[in-house]
Amino acid sequence: MEKGTFDLIKGAALASTALLLILVSPLIATSDKKHNHNTVKVENGWKEFYSVPGKCTMKFPAKPEHFTEKMSVPEEGYELKYDAYISSMDKQTVFMLLIAQYPDFVDETYAQMSLESFLNGILRNNPGNQLIFADLTLVNGHEALDFFIRTGSMYFKGRAMMVKNSLYLMAMECEVQAYDESPYNAFVNSFTLGSK
């Protein structure tokens, strides 16, 4: 496969995940609608949760809701499989872990390009998305992208990381007035690969 064609396919794949994120996103995707989230009090710390398909462990404020889907990408000839885990801390703050599994030809060799394509897909999808910052970083030997976006009265802060042919997205969505850095840091820093 020629490099130019390969890059185009990879770009389309990551843009598909950005679209997928909008479909999964409980707050930003529907920021004009009323939300009916249950309040969860965290008294003795967050609960550790293991994702079998993602082969990773992460702490959530409450047991996350989980769903698995396959999204067809007919123009590229493959299916994108993803698992999403969503847990709310209160009525204004939601945490999510999204794990997208790409075909084998999408791998972390092009992690930086893949992560930038993913972020650009999110930003292009809604002209109201304002990028506050985006930084490439290294997390346990894997390239990752930390980002912070504002959409109207909502913040969306997250970390996306490529590991082989899987994209891991850890994110917090909250109303601007409810923003608190410490739960986000606890959430993102609790992520570990290969536990159990």
Per-residue pLDDT 10s for the chain (196 aa) are 333 323 333 333 444 444 445 444 444 333 333 333 333 333 457 889 998 887 899 999 988 998 888 877 666 667 778 899 999 888 889 999 999 887 776 666 777 887 888 888 888 888 888 999 999 999 988 999 999 999 999 999 999 998 888 889 999 999 999 999 999 999 999 999 985 5
CATH class of 3-193: alpha beta
Cα separation, 76 vs 56, whole angstroms: 28
Q: Is 150 exposed, middle or buried (0-12, 13-18, 19+ CB in 10 A)?
A: middle
What ranges do the domains of the chain cover? 3-193
Cα separation, 9 vs 76, whole angstroms: 7
8 Å CB contact between 149 and 132? yes
